[in-house]
Structure 1
């Protein structure tokens, strides 16, 4: 199945970043704007309390589910924003490594941010995403 998302790398910018700097999708693609994927279990409780990497993994799992329900998958994501409730760079990196590994070679343009607090009790990670698909 052809993909709508094209990742763009810039030879003019640092190659230190572990993601493409930009992405495009054709005008005929259907955009999917996802609410932030949270590390919530089926019963609504927060998963992996105190564990940034564990919460990132659960948030990715929930992101995959939301994408599937919208007719998409991780390779259809055109942009992400990863929010981590911490002022410690190590925590941001721990969350990022989980997200980066989940996306594999689809190194989607992303923003990684430390924030003061997130919406659910004991929540440390949230992943926002936009996807684009070509409907047949």
Structure 2
């Protein structure tokens, strides 16, 4: 049984994510730093390519979660940052993020921001996950 329960709210507009999530009391919370589009050497991948950077970010997020004993399906909240003022760029990134989560649709915030921390960085995703104490990943 998962440690989190995603809540859909029929009274609110249909959205490609749950509006809320609850976590069981016996869960261990995992808070990630923002996953960045960096390769193992620290170089920014796919400069200028929103989708390419989003793919790398999600790969890195999955690796960070795995190191903490969690999976993408354990995520209860994400914040997705996109260095752009163009909604089309935000949608491009969102499509990659949603695809990587599959049927799991945790609450999420999608933001366009002026700049991110690394040279040529366009995308960053931070997450909160919950796993049952003693659960194996």
Instruction: Name the TM-score, length of structure 2 as normaliser.
Output: 0.96
Q: CA deviation at 1:5?
A: 1.2
Identify the residue that residue 58 of structure 1 maps to in structure 2.
Answer: 56
> Secondary structure, in 3 states, of the residue corresponding to 1:107?
coil
Identify the residue that residue 128 of structure 2 maps to in structure 1.
Answer: 130
Distance 1:36 1:103 in 2: 16
Identify the residue that residue 48 of structure 1 maps to in structure 2.
Answer: 46
1:19-55 per-position Cα deviation (integer Å, ceiling 9, x unaligned): 0100110111000000000000000000111000000
What is the Cα-based RMSD across aligned positions, in Å? 0.5
Identify the residue that residue 70 of structure 1 maps to in structure 2.
Answer: 68
Task: Give the ranges of 4+ consecutive aligned residues of structure 1 lying more than 6 Å apart after TM superposition.
Answer: none
> Secondary structure, in 3 states, of the residue corresponding to 1:41?
coil
Identify the residue that residue 6 of structure 2 maps to in structure 1.
Answer: 7
> Secondary structure, in 3 states, of the residue corresponding to 2:44?
coil
Match of 2:26 among 21, 25, 28: 28
Distance 2:5 2:73 in 1: 10
Instruction: Name the TM-score, length of structure 1 as normaliser.
Output: 0.97
How many residues in Structure 1 have an aligned counterpart in Structure 2?
134
Q: In structure 1, list runs of 5 or more residues that go unmatched.
A: none
Q: CA deviation at 1:109?
A: 0.4
